[in-house]
């Protein structure tokens, strides 16, 4: 019914007249029946060998992120968008896959890379699973570099911006992301259940730990983010403000998201307008270059991946959340620190549930005659596993620079060590 019209082109033209920068959004995670008919090998396959239907849109098929659909077809789509519309970037949603895929491309590529069949276990101590987790990351970073390079061939000022990243529970290495990304987007559209109001600021700290002074946007939605989402619903004024304000306070640049172009409920408009008006007036005060935090709270994706596994939420992230809550209640200025990007100057280091550090970092803490010292630092009770050999966990109790090991205690809404 669109005929020869070009709605996206019209929007781009309108934005240009307003002097706006335009970033196009793509989403390659699903495809229509005609794609399946022409290229059935582009479709994701489950462990039983069946092509995967979309979980919420039954007429769609789920695509494989690690095969030719992304590496060939979506590469051409990306080139076409940048060449035709001259956009400044491509923000790609759901680009990294929708669960494990057992299509022939994944089977062949994994066997060629690792010499084994795709894993059937979710246990990170199972060799095929461990190798798959690392191989998948490398494959996705290869895709990232491909799309970024193709975009810059057409427009050297444009970049690829994937929807990814975060804290210990995020699946792509943030240290690598910090090197590749010109900017990132924290797609945390709102809170649900018992999520704390400070969780959005935690997102900002985690992204800053990897990006440094590069910009990070905080993508929030005006709709509800409960398990039963209706995207035309509207959150309350207070809920929107507290979520966005905590993100802004930790360096996130506000970016609002409204699904569909029809307004059934206009109550959010004045709230969002007021947020952006305030941000525009005060943005110059929100770009401090030096961090005055006296404490660094380390997060470790490797610990979540290789120690936590499917229980990483309980075994890893809850420890981090407990520390975070305790530090807030104590009014202690602190920063999130990625375990692969530790800065040895003026950091008081408290490490909750650190189970799978880099060998180099483990060696740093194991020096018997020259223990690490981070300003007034001490490292508190954690376990380590050697990632090169993935040996059994070895419980360690640390007493760096004569500081006593911390005792377990309880804070409101969480445990901490």
User: Where does a domain end: 262, 285, 308?
Assistant: 285
Cβ contacts of 131 within 8 Å, gap of 6 or more: 114, 116, 119
Q: Which has the higher per-residue pLDDT, 369 or 360?
A: 360
- For residue range 200-252, what is the model confidence (pLDDT) as tens digits? 999 999 999 999 889 999 999 988 888 877 778 889 999 999 999 999 999 99
Domain that holds residue 325: 295-416
pLDDT over threshold 80, residue 348: no
Whether residue 157 sits in one domain with residue 133? yes
pLDDT reported for residue 259? 82
Report the run of H or E that residue 193 belongs to, with start and end. Answer: none
pLDDT reported for residue 351? 54
Helix (H/G/I), strand (E/B), else coil: 96? coil
Q: Is residue 290 part of a domain?
A: no
- For residue range 288-297, what is the model confidence (pLDDT) as tens digits? 667 788 888 9
**pLDDT exceeding 90 applies to what percent of the chain?**
69
Q: CB count, 10 Å around CB of 223?
A: 21
Whether residue 324 sits in one domain with residue 280? no
Q: CB count, 10 Å around CB of 156?
A: 8
Q: Distance (Å, rounded) from C-alpha 94 to C-alpha 72?
A: 17
Whether residue 388 sits in one domain with residue 251? no
CATH number at residue 272: 3.20.20.80
What's the domain count of the chain? 2
pLDDT over threshold 60, residue 362: no
pLDDT reported for residue 61? 98
pLDDT over threshold 50, residue 187: yes
Whether residue 329 sits in one domain with residue 232? no
Whether residue 89 sits in one domain with residue 229? yes
Mean pLDDT for 359-383 is: 46
Q: Is residue 204 part of a domain?
A: yes
Q: Is residue 2 part of a domain?
A: no
Mean pLDDT check: name the lowest of 75-89, 208-222, 334-348, 387-401: 387-401
pLDDT reported for residue 344? 57
Q: Distance (Å, rounded) from C-alpha 58 to C-alpha 16?
A: 37
Q: Which has the higher per-residue pLDDT, 298 or 90?
A: 90
**Do residues 144 and 180 lie in contact, with contact meaning Cβ atoms separated by under 8 Å?**
yes
pLDDT over threshold 50, residue 417: no
Report the run of H or E that residue 328 belongs to, with start and end. Answer: helix 318-329
**Do residues 183 and 216 lie in contact, with contact meaning Cβ atoms separated by under 8 Å?**
yes
User: Where does a domain end: 226, 261, 285?
Assistant: 285
Q: Distance (Å, rounded) from C-alpha 41 to C-alpha 105?
A: 8
**Do residues 101 and 66 lie in contact, with contact meaning Cβ atoms separated by under 8 Å?**
yes
Cβ contacts of 273 within 8 Å, gap of 6 or more: none
- For residue range 12-24, what is the model confidence (pLDDT) as tens digits? 999 999 999 999 9
Whether residue 220 sits in one domain with residue 148? yes
- Which pTM does this prediction carry? 0.84
Angle at which helices 75-85 and 127-154 pack, to 10 degrees? Answer: 30
Mean pLDDT of the chain: 85
Whether residue 145 sits in one domain with residue 219? yes
User: Where does a domain end: 234, 253, 285?
Assistant: 285
> Which runs of E-coded beta strand occur in 367-416?
382-384, 394-396, 409-411, 414-416
- Strands lying side by side in the sheet with 159-162: 23-26, 89-92, 159-162
Q: Is residue 375 part of a domain?
A: yes
DSSP string computed for 206-267:
HHHHHHTTS-EEEEEESS--SSS--TT----HHHHHHHHHHHHHTTPEEEEE--SS--S--H
Q: Quote the distance between the C-alpha of residue 134 and its chain's center.
A: 16
Q: CB count, 10 Å around CB of 93?
A: 15
Q: Which has the higher per-residue pLDDT, 409 or 298?
A: 298
pLDDT reported for residue 231? 77
Label residue 2 by pLDDT band (50, 70, 90). Answer: confident
Q: Is residue 189 part of a domain?
A: yes
**Do residues 230 and 266 lie in contact, with contact meaning Cβ atoms separated by under 8 Å?**
no
Unique residue bearing structure tokens 């229509």: 32
Whether residue 361 sits in one domain with residue 265? no
In Å, how far are 37, 50, 53, 95, 105 from 33, measured between CA atoms?
Answer: 6, 15, 10, 19, 20
pLDDT over threshold 60, residue 121: yes
pLDDT reported for residue 340? 86
**Do residues 91 and 81 lie in contact, with contact meaning Cβ atoms separated by under 8 Å?**
no
pLDDT over threshold 70, residue 395: no
Label residue 357 by pLDDT band (50, 70, 90). Answer: low
Q: Which token pair is 281? A: 């007036």
Mean pLDDT for 98-116 is: 97
Closest CA to 24 of 79, 69, 102: 79
Whether residue 344 sits in one domain with residue 220? no
Whether residue 115 sits in one domain with residue 210? yes
Q: Is residue 402 part of a domain?
A: yes
Q: Is residue 268 part of a domain?
A: yes
**pLDDT exceeding 70 applies to what percent of the chain?**
82
User: What are φ and ψ of residue 70, in 5° steps?
Assistant: -80, -45
**Do residues 201 and 247 lie in contact, with contact meaning Cβ atoms separated by under 8 Å?**
yes
Q: Which has the higher per-residue pLDDT, 273 or 193?
A: 273
pLDDT over threshold 60, residue 398: no
Whether residue 269 sits in one domain with residue 373? no
Q: Is residue 1 part of a domain?
A: no
Whether residue 243 sits in one domain with residue 318? no
**Do residues 116 and 51 lie in contact, with contact meaning Cβ atoms separated by under 8 Å?**
no
pLDDT reported for residue 353? 52
- For residue range 35-76, what is the model confidence (pLDDT) as tens digits? 999 999 999 999 999 999 999 999 999 999 999 999 999 999
Q: Which token pair is 212? A: 């440094």
């Amino acid at each position: 019914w669109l005929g020869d019209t070009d709605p996206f082109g019209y929007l781009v033209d309108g934005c240009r007249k307003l002097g706006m920068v335009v970033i196009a959004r793509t989403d390659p995670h699903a495809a229509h029946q005609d794609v399946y008919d022409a290229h059935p090998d582009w479709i994701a396959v489950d462990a039983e060998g069946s092509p995967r239907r979309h979980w919420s849109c039954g007429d769609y098929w789920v695509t494989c992120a690690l095969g030719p659909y992304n590496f060939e077809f979506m590469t051409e789509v990306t080139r076409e968008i940048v060449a035709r519309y001259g956009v400044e970037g491509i923000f790609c949603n759901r680009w990294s896959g929708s669960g494990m895929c057992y299509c022939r491309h994944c089977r062949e590529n994994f066997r060629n890379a690792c010499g084994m069949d795709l894993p059937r276990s979710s246990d990170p101590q199972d060799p095929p699973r461990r190798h798959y987790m690392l191989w998948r990351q490398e494959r996705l970073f290869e895709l990232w570099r491909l799309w970024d390079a193709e975009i810059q061939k057409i427009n050297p000022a444009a970049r690829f911006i994937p929807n990814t990243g975060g804290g210990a529970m995020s699946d792509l290495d943030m240290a690598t992301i910090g090197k590749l990304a010109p900017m990132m987007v924290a797609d945390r559209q709102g809170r649900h259940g018992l999520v704390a109001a400070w969780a959005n600021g935690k997102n900002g700290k985690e992204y800053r730990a990897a990006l440094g002074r590069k910009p990070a946007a905080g993508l929030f939605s005006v709709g509800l983010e409960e398990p039963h989402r209706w995207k035309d619903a509207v959150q309350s004024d207070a809920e929107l403000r507290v979520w966005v304000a905590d993100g802004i306070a930790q360096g996130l640049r506000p970016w609002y998201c409204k699904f569909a172009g029809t307004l059934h409920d206009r109550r959010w408009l004045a709230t969002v307008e007021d947020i952006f008006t305030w941000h525009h007036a005060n943005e110059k005060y929100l770009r401090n270059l030096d961090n005055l935090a006296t404490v660094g709270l380390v997060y470790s994706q490797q610990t979540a991946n290789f120690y936590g596994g499917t229980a990483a939420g309980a075994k890893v992230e809850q420890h981090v959340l407990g520390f975070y809550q305790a530090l807030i209640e104590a009014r202690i200025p602190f920063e999130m620190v990625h375990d692969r990007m530790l800065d040895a100057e003026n950091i008081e280091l408290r490490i909750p549930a650190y189970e799978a550090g880099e060998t180099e970092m483990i060696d740093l803490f194991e020096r018997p005659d020259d223990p690490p010292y981070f300003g007034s630092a001490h490292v508190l009770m954690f376990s380590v596993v050697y990632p090169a050999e993935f040996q059994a966990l070895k419980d360690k109790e640390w007493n760096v620079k004569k500081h006593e090991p911390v005792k377990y205690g309880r804070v409101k809404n969480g445990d901490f060590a």
